[in-house]
Amino acid sequence: DAGVIQSPRHEVTEMGQEVTLRCKPISGHDYLFWYRQTMMRGLELLIYFNNNVPIDDSGMPEDRFSAKMPNASFSTLKIQPSEPRDSAVYFCASSSPPNAGGADTQYFGPGTRLTVL
């Protein structure tokens, strides 16, 4: 199993530019999560999906952030326009259905380190 795949691993952009982060969950997992990690705020859940449907986006900081999951194997997190305070590591995670063995355990991707200049 390849695990959760994220791209790019590093992204450097200038303020005002659009940024798109990508995630491929583990096959068979029907929950997908986007987290942001900063020194100041630690790990924060931004949004999560179940069966491609957004369930809770209360952690999305503002309208500049949006996330989509067009199918079971792909999700994007977009920031438009980006700002320096968006600089962070963004993680994607996935988990299996509640009744499966080890259910609800979230497996994380390697993260995308975003730097907005």
Partner 1 sequence: AQTVTQSQPEMSVQEAETVTLSCTYDTSENNYYLFWYKQPPSRQMILVIRQEAYKQQNATENRFSVNFQKAAKSFSLKISDSQLGDTAMYFCAFMNVRNTGKLIFGQGTTLQVKP
Could you tell me the sign of the dihedral formed by the alpha carbons of 58, 63, 93, 69, in that order?
positive
**Residues 11/113, Cβ–Cβ less than 8 Å:** yes
Q: Which of residues 52-81 bind partner 1 (CB under 8 A)?
A: 55-56
Q: Assess 91 for contact with partner 1 (CB under 8 A).
A: yes
Which of 1, 2, 42, 62 binds partner 1 (CB under 8 A)? It is 42
Query: How far is 73 from 85, CA to CA, in rounded Å?
Result: 29
- Name the residue nearer to partner 1 (CB basis): 81 or 87: 87
Please give the Cα distance from 17 to 10 (Å, whole number).
15
Name the site residues for partner 1 (rule: CB under 8 A). Answer: 31, 33, 42-43, 45, 48, 50, 55-56, 89, 91, 93, 95, 98, 102-108, 110-111, 113
